Structure 1
Amino acid sequence: MAHSFVVWLVFTLLWGAIGGVLPLFIPRSDNRGIVQVMVITTAVCCYVMWLATFLSQLNPLQGPQVSDVTQLLMSKNWNS
């Protein structure tokens, strides 16, 4: 469980730095505000996509519960 917390913390800090610190280093121009909003929006979207994938793997869906008889029948019929 500690390993997953470390992974979560590292990626949160990574995307936080990209979305929170990187926009401060955008050079001054007419479109600076637009570029900053694009960088922040990209960081938020990438973080949410990563977070959804990460959280779905913490508690994965279980496969179908198949009885022993059904497993034997599937094995016999599908391997022939």
Structure 2
Amino acid sequence: MGAAFFPVLFFTAFWACIGIGVPMMTPKGPHQSLLRCIMMLTAATCWLFWLCCYMAQMNPLLGPKLSRHAIYMIAKEWGNELKDG
């Protein structure tokens, strides 16, 4: 599975709108700049988390490849005798 252009573009635009649009709607007050900073950082970290999860699916980690001998040893230790067949 390779990276598709549309999902990356769509979610980048979505989180850009959140990161730019929501801070513009913060109420006036002494902490307005702090609230804007929080909203922009939240949008940026949510986008980055999504991007990392999306990219991790492109090259998934697979479990270890065990030899037949190792599988039989593990089964014997766990009390699940396997039959040769």
Runs of 5+ consecutive residues of structure 1 not aligned to the other structure: none
Q: Provide the aligned C-alpha RMSD in A.
A: 2.4
Percentage identity across paired residues of the two chains: 31
2:57, 2:40 → 1: CA distance?
Answer: 26
* SS of residue matched to 1:43: helix
Q: State the structure with bigger RCO (CA 8 A, min sep 6), 1 or 2.
A: 2
- Residue pairs, 1:14-25, within 5 angstroms: 14-25=14-25
Distance 1:45 1:75, change over 3 A: same
In the TM superposition, what is the alpha-carbon distance from 1:6 to its structure 2 partner?
A: 1.5
CA spacing shift, 1:74–1:8, aligned 2, 3 Å: same
TM-score by length of 1: 0.72
Q: Which runs of 5+ in 2 are unaligned?
A: none
Query: How high is the TM-score relative to the length of structure 2?
Result: 0.69
Asked which structure has the greater CA Rg, the reply is 2
Number of matched pairs: 80
Which structure dedicates a bigger proportion of its chain to helix? Answer: 1
